[in-house]
Amino acid sequence: MAEGNGVLIVAEAAGSDLRPVSLELITAGRQLADALGGGVTAVIGGMAIEDAAQRLAAAGADKVLVADGDAFADVTAGVWTALVTQAIERTQPAAVLIPGTTAGRDYAPRVAARLGVGLAADCVELAVEDGAVVAVRPVLGGRVQTAVKLAGNTPQMATVRAGSFERATGSDGNGSVELIDVSLSDDDTRVKVLELVQEAAAGQSLEGADRIVSGGRGLKEPDQFKLVEDLAAALGAAVGASRAVVDAGWRPHSEQVGQTGQTVSPRLYVAVGISGAVQHLVGMQSSDYIVAINRDPDAPIFKIASFGIVGDLFEVVPAVIDEVKVARA
């Protein structure tokens, strides 16, 4: 494959709207493209996604390739492997960035295998060194970060962990939008989605939340999690949980924050009764402001907290809720 100097990002949609990670990839892609001396092209598939495509163009993509049709309505590995592979063959990029979503982690290695190139997975930082992409990714449960230089065959591919980059907020971009045809074989379409079952959500989704209140084992029993819910309600925040709480069956997995849950980067993250195990920290440490409430002054969470309250959470949280209600009134 001929070597170019542009960057191709793969955007994903939820229905007709963009997933927030797609805007993060615009930021990451622009960072690499500026260093490589090329442009940013985005590719997206779905049904009735004209608005999502225009949003990508406005947010900073120089060109947006759109595959619109029934086949792309659901992100299945075969169809999206074909879509991304053919977009790469069309644009000849130097680098390809794919969301580190459940779907992205499925089709990204298939694309890499089909093209015979390498793939750096779960990247949290990206840079360019001597014309090659350098990807930083956590290993050993997040206790260590390694820098991988993607030298050799092009394109250089990486999946990017959600929450690792700021979302592109531009609205005055003038990128072009182009419909493309994608050739799909019987093998590509052999898996079909018959039905999507959406788990009923009690509150805000963690994905894209501007404020999050999470609870841990310091709450002692599941009934006490109401303190977290009440604080979240007072702040207009989403509810999260540590892995220990989810493993204990107190909360659903959809609320888990951490390496084996969701990676989040809200404006405000409040950790209630969470000690701060590495597994949890890697999922929320990029939050703008972190407030920790814990009775143990040596809890690891305080090492990254913007503000720390050392005290009994059963006394502190109700007092904070009262103060928030007074302030908001």
Does 238 fall in a domain? yes
Regarding whether 298 and 162 lie in a shared domain, the answer is no
**Count of domains for the chain:** 2
Alpha-carbon torsion (262, 268, 271, 277), positive or negative = positive
Phi, psi of 309 (to 5 degrees): -120, 115
DSSP character at residue 306 = S
Q: What does the pLDDT look like over 238-274, one tens digit per residue? A: 999 999 999 999 999 889 998 778 888 899 999 999 9
Phi-psi region of 244 (alpha: psi -120 to 50; beta: other; left: phi over 0): alpha
Regarding whether 293 and 174 lie in a shared domain, the answer is no
Separation of alpha carbons 196 and 13, rounded Å = 15
152 half-sphere exposure, CB direction, 13 A CA radius: 9
User: 278-313: b or e for each residue (b if 16 or more CB lie within 10 Å)?
Assistant: bbbbbbbbbbeebbbbbeeeebbbbebbeebbeeeb
Q: What does the pLDDT look like over 66-99, one tens digit per residue? A: 998 888 888 889 999 999 999 999 999 999 999 9
The share of the chain scoring above pLDDT 70, in percent, equals 96
Lowest mean pLDDT among 8-12, 133-137, 166-170, 320-324: 166-170
Place 190 in a pLDDT band, splitting at 50, 70 and 90: confident
Are the C-beta atoms of 189 and 79 separated by less than 8 Å? yes
Q: What is the mean pLDDT of residues 4-17?
A: 88
In angstroms, the Cα distances linking 68 to 7, 53, 61, 306 are 22, 10, 18, 44
Instruction: Look at residue 254 in the predicted model and tell me its pLDDT.
Output: 87
Regarding whether 155 and 85 lie in a shared domain, the answer is yes
Regarding whether 297 and 255 lie in a shared domain, the answer is yes
Residue 96 sits in a domain whose CATH number is 3.40.50.620
pLDDT at 105 exceeding the cut of 50: yes
β-partners of residue 138 are 145
Q: What does pTM read for this prediction?
A: 0.77
Regarding whether 116 and 250 lie in a shared domain, the answer is no
pLDDT at 37 exceeding the cut of 80: yes
Instruction: Look at residue 138 in the predicted model and tell me its pLDDT.
Output: 79
Could you give the maximum distance between any two Cα atoms of the chain, in Å?
A: 64
Separation of alpha carbons 237 and 213, rounded Å = 6
Paired sense of beta strands 17-18 and 13-14, if any: antiparallel
Residue ending a domain, among 179, 199, 234, is 179
Does 197 fall in a domain? no
Phi, psi of 302 (to 5 degrees): -70, -20
In angstroms, the Cα distances linking 91 to 42, 84, 96, 145, 180 are 10, 10, 10, 31, 12
Torsion, Cα 30 34 38 41, to 10 degrees, reads: 0
Domain that holds residue 323: 211-328
In angstroms, the Cα distances linking 56 to 7, 174, 266 are 14, 10, 21
Regarding whether 290 and 241 lie in a shared domain, the answer is yes
Kindly give the residue spans of alpha helices, DSSP state H, lying in the chain: 20-36, 50-59, 77-91, 102-115, 226-235, 243-247, 278-281, 313-328
Instruction: Look at residue 93 in the predicted model and tell me its pLDDT.
Output: 95
Separation of alpha carbons 239 and 212, rounded Å = 6
Instruction: Look at residue 1 in the predicted model and tell me its pLDDT.
Output: 37
Regarding whether 232 and 295 lie in a shared domain, the answer is yes
Separation of alpha carbons 260 and 279, rounded Å = 8
Residue 216 sits in a domain whose CATH number is 3.40.50.1220
| Nearest CA-CA partner of 227 in 327, 292, 321 | 321
Q: What does the pLDDT look like over 290-320, one tens digit per residue? A: 999 999 999 999 999 999 999 999 999 999 9
Separation of alpha carbons 109 and 106, rounded Å = 7
